[in-house]
A and B are shown apart, each in its own frame.
Chain A
Amino acid sequence: EAQVTQNPRYLITVTGKKLTVTCSQNMNHEYMSWYRQDPGLGLRQIYYSMNVEVTDKGDVPEGYKVSRKEKRNFPLILESPSPNQTSLYFCASTRLAGLNEQFFGPGTRLTVL
């Protein structure tokens, strides 16, 4: 089954404790992206990657890091989480050709205390 998976689905942590949210897709998509969704603000792009070892900032990259060492994986790293990073996070992937439909993971609900 074609899918995007994220782990963990729910996470409660404390300020300053490094964490990683994993994202994996099995569709051989070149493009992957991370978004955060906050009430009233919609989804905002954090980082995206157009292929292995190619990453770029979205609209809200501060406080986040990403890496793309393999085509299928695109982890989101919070080196020192803060309460303003409490949010719902989505990973997505798509083929680059034709700027097509993005397929989203199920989301990760993160709470930073």
Chain B
Amino acid sequence: RKEVEQDPGPFNVPEGATVAFNCTYSNSASQSFFWYRQDCRKEPKLLMSVYSSGNEDGRFTAQLNRASQYISLLIRDSKLSDSATYLCVVNLNTGGFKTIFGAGTRLFVKA
């Protein structure tokens, strides 16, 4: 079983749609959580950190459920420019600082 698992993609949605991505993690040493965005084999860039209390940034809302080891990302009012791969990322506190990426979910937003 992968340590970080994401919804299989791709997701194809029309402009204006709401889309939800899910992610589960298995390591109890997981300490911090993020969603990154990656465009077409370019470098990943931070979209948002994820907190237990939930956090929102414009059209994007992220949620963490530590009990279920589950992370979500909600995108409202999808734009064409949201088309990208979304990566769920977990940092492990194992005495060091290991980072585990999910395989990513591809989103296509169409006009």
Do A and B come from the same complex? yes
Q: Which A residues contact B (CB, under 8 angstroms)?
A: 31, 33, 35, 37, 40-45, 48, 50, 56, 58-59, 88, 90, 96, 99, 101-102, 104-107
Closest to A50 in B: B97
- Our pick among A45, A59, A101, A105 for the contact of B34 (Cβ within 8 Å) is A101
Q: Which B residues contact A (CB, under 8 angstroms)?
A: 31-32, 34, 41-46, 49, 87, 91, 93, 96-104
Contact (Cβ within 8 A) A96 B97: yes
Contact (A33, B103) CB under 8 Å given A43-B44, A43-B87: no
Contact (Cβ within 8 A) B44 A104: yes
Contacts of B46 in A (CB 8 A): 101-102
Contacts of B41 in A (CB 8 A): 37, 88, 107
Interface centre among A56, A58, A102, A106, by most chain B C-beta atoms within 10 angstroms, is A102
Contact (A99, B101) CB under 8 Å given A42-B87, A107-B42: no
Roughly how many angstroms separate A31 CA and B41 CA in the complex, as a whole number?
A: 23
Roughly how many angstroms separate A16 CA and B111 CA in the complex, as a whole number?
A: 49
Contacts of A99 in B (CB 8 A): 31-32, 91, 93, 97
